[in-house]
A and B are shown apart, each in its own frame.
Chain A
């Protein structure tokens, strides 16, 4: 089973992501803490990280750079602010030309539809290999 780690400071968003992706057969781990996310990635295999850009204490870009320096993993940034992905943002240009340039990172802007979420996830790691059961939502 493919494992996705979702990191967001909003519990409701995490719950929603977990419900949506579990329905499609992925195992979803969630955390609101950048430190806990780092521990999880150090301890177990994760196929994809869903990463909120604005985390308290640690910027999503910093966390992304840290993850990629340890063990490169596909990342889907989930953000409500497209302007953050700009060469004018601190340190972004180097991230873009190095880490993003590996082709294993994508961006999903909020608000988004579930169809877009599934497409971005499947575009990075493929489907779960499990036939989805019907959502009750």
Chain B
């Protein structure tokens, strides 16, 4: 496997690109668990929710999101970056928070659970109280 160690600076493989993208996300204290990332033939797809880790004080701003995406676009080997976040949208050169209420992560997870083949919910998950 190529990615052990560190990401090389010359033209990167898809896995090395993913590694470089995660480095940028981590540098900005972004919650990796809410972001979906994959790279195929140099095209990087980002989706899900762009949000800080819980209890990180500085909220994400438009300029920070712009900086993050621009940094990702500059990674060597990336041909294109396709972004489809639920909570941020690019309008021209500016990233804006979507006007709808931020997605409730727990509600989204519950929806995903209903669609999943396997239910891997931990046993301590609170159950709705009986009427």
Contacts and interface: CB of A to CB of B under 8 A. Distances in A.
A57 interface: no
Contacts of B125: 80
B60 to A, nearest CB: 15
- Chain B, interface size: which category? 35 or more
B12 to A, nearest CB: 11
B5 interface: yes
Interface string A103-137: 11111111111101001001111100000000101
Given A109-B33, A110-B121, A113-B115, A82 B54 contact: yes
B19 A104 contact: yes
Interface string B31-45: 111101111000000
A119 B23 CA distance: 18
B55 A87 contact: yes
Interface in B98-114: 105, 109-110, 112-113
B112 A111 contact: yes
B36 A116 contact: yes
Interface of A: 2, 10, 13, 16, 20, 47, 72-74, 77-83, 85-88, 96, 100-114, 116, 119, 122-126, 135, 137
7 contacts: A86-B56, A110-B120, A113-B112, A119-B38, A123-B39, A124-B3, A126-B15
Q: What are the 6 A-B residue pairs with the smallest beta carbon separation, nearest first?
A: A107-B33, A103-B19, A111-B113, A80-B122, A103-B23, A103-B22
Given A110-B120, A110-B121, A119-B36, 16 more contacts: A47-B1, A82-B31, A82-B33, A86-B56, A87-B29, A87-B53, A87-B55, A103-B18, A106-B32, A106-B37, A107-B31, A109-B109, A111-B109, A112-B116, A123-B18, A124-B3
